[in-house]
Amino acid sequence: MSAIKSTSSITVPAKKSRRLLQKSECKEEEILETASVPFVTAKTRGTKIPIGLGHTHFPFHEQVSMKAIREQAKLEVKTAPTAKDNNVKVGEEYQADLPEFNPKLYDNDERDREEAMWTPSPKTFHDHESYQAAYFLPIWYQFEGQIPFEVALQNLMHRDYDIGKALETIDQKLKILPQKFKNLTKIQMKKFKELYDTKNKQGSRVEVPTRNFQEKAMRNYHIAETQNFYHFFENQALQGSSCTCPVLAHPEVVPRWACGNCTKHLKPTTSEDQCLICLNYKAVMGTTRPASNPVFTEEEYQKILDWKQIAARERRSVSKDEFEGIQKQKKIDRLLRNELTEEERLIIEPGQLPHKKKHLTEAQMQENGWNLVEQLEECPLGLPVFRQCNCDARDIIENPVALEIRKAIKRKSVDKDNQVNEPNPAKKPRRVMKR
């Protein structure tokens, strides 16, 4: 009977001969202590959203599997301590010698870390609707919810409750807030809805863990962004139709990169279009907003530079619609050549394309390209609305908002008959996501 050849464990390093150890001037104990087996570690899923004006997508690594990590952890064998480490010293002579505690060294570390977000003004501050329509709503719609309510209130408080000063400096808050959330693409929204509508055999909806949404539908998003979007999507699905109060209706918004006043220091323009921040500043203060030091995100700043270059190349003024058409066609041409960015490769899977070969004809590349254009089309979900559940009562209350401010917001028309006849949707309990 032949003997079975034994193999050494992968977790135990091979012992070298003393001749080789002496030649490399190393000790055997050092080799045993420093040698280790490569261990697969769990990579972060992005529990913290990046801060600042840029946009960093999450570098999702598909090859890292949690199942493989758990299996590897079961096989982990810790190196046995050496002989000198086995002797535990006991006795007073082996106690640690610590210096006496000096409280003066830690006085600076006991500062108050709490931050006041809002303190009521000592002045008259009873006209909340005027502040809401002239200050917060323009901020909410202009920045698409990136600047939350409490940050806007804190900025107003720091500016001595002066709406003009607060509107002039509100864009500075973009430097310290999480990056702007990008809309999901068409293929991502399709996968997200399929996961959201997952049902068991009894026909009841099953709660899917957040990690599954990130792995299968939102691989370029941090898991914190995924969870925020899940609750936003669920709230819209449960609330149904939005509130149709006149003051709270959605306005028409000119993006800040197309605002003639905000971009006056970056590119010459004859456009009279202005963003909601500049419009409401003029309605409140009676003068044009200075916009002396506007803050733009990296994406907005790049659009301003591209617009300026196109106008210089054409040697004429280029309208906003024409510029957007040029940018859109530029992206389509790139996708028709099957050229994808690193973030787009996380969104698109090769198996989703009609032709999966490495070497494609020009016609096949075109077909794949138009498929990419369709899948990468953005699907904006909109903004959460302000539900006050008091629509009927608001009709008989005199609105104190100035007429100029109401015009500046450019509210959409509301059919009052539908508003009265439409019943309020019943409130449903909020579901809790499984982590």
| pLDDT tens string 294-314 | 999 999 999 999 999 999 999
DSSP string, 403-415: HHHHHHHTBPP--
C-alpha closest to that of 405 among 253, 283, 248, 264: 283
273 phi and psi angles, rounded to 5 deg = -70, 135
Band of the pLDDT at 63, cuts 50, 70, 90? low
Chain CA centroid to CA 364, Å: 35
Given a cut of 90, whether residue 185 has pLDDT beyond it is: yes
% of residues, the chain, pLDDT over 70: 66
Q: Between 358 and 6, name the one with better pLDDT.
A: 358
Helices (H), ranges, 119-269: 128-131, 137-142, 149-158, 163-169, 186-196, 210-216, 223-239
Q: What is the DSSP letter of 247?
A: T
Gap between the Cα atoms of 180 and 170, Å rounded: 15
Q: Provide the 3-class DSSP secondary structure of residue 422.
A: coil
Q: Are 212 and 37 contacting, i.e. CB atoms less than 8 angstroms apart?
A: no
246 has pLDDT over 50 = no
Identify which of 42-51, 237-246, 374-383 has the greatest average pLDDT. 374-383
Written as six digits, the tokens of 389 are 């559940």
State percent of the chain over pLDDT 90.
Answer: 43
Average pLDDT (196-200) is: 92
Q: 110-158 pLDDT, tens per residue?
A: 566 788 888 887 765 566 777 888 898 899 999 998 999 999 999 999 9
* pLDDT greater at residue 220 or residue 382: 220
Q: What is the pTM of this model?
A: 0.68
- Average the pLDDT over each of 28-37, 133-142, 205-214 and give the range with the smallest value: 28-37
HSE, side-chain direction, 13 A CA sphere, residue 267 = 24
Task: Name which of 67-76, 239-248, 302-311, 333-342 the model is least confident about.
Answer: 239-248
Q: What is the DSSP string of 207-227?
A: PPPHHHHHHHT-TTS-HHHHH
Amino acid in position 196:
Y
Q: Which of the four pLDDT bands, split at 50, 70 and 90, describes residue 80?
A: low
Quote the pLDDT of residue 349.
Answer: 80
- pLDDT for residue 6: 41
Q: Per-residue pLDDT for 370 more than 50?
A: yes
The pLDDT value given to residue 324: 95
Rounded to an integer, what distance in angstroms lies between the CA atom of residue 57 and that of residue 50? Answer: 9
Residues 6+ apart with CB under 8 A from 141: 250, 251, 253, 276, 383
Q: Higher confidence at residue 349 or residue 166?
A: 166
More confident residue, 62 or 130: 130
Between 242 and 119, residue with greater pLDDT? 119
Biggest alpha carbon distance in the chain? 102
Tell which wins on pLDDT, 358 or 39. 358
Range from 12-26, 91-105, 239-253 carrying the lowest mean pLDDT: 12-26
pLDDT recorded at residue 108: 59
Average pLDDT value for the chain: 76
Is 294 exposed, middle or buried, given 0-12, 13-18 or 19+ CB atoms closer than 10 A?
buried
Backbone torsion region of residue 91, taken as left when φ is above 0, otherwise alpha when ψ lies between -120 and 50, otherwise beta: left
Segment 347-362 shows an average pLDDT of 80
Residue 81 has pLDDT above 60, yes or no: no
Across residues 213-225, what is the average pLDDT? 94
Give the pLDDT score at 248: 44
With CA atoms as reference, report the closest residue to 406 among 167, 125, 137.
137
Residues 375-420 pLDDT 10s? 999 988 777 655 444 444 444 333 434 444 444 444 433 444 444 4
Mean pLDDT across 92-112: 72
Pull the structure tokens for residue 270: 């004859």
In this prediction, residue 92 carries a pLDDT of 82
Confidence (pLDDT) at 112 = 62
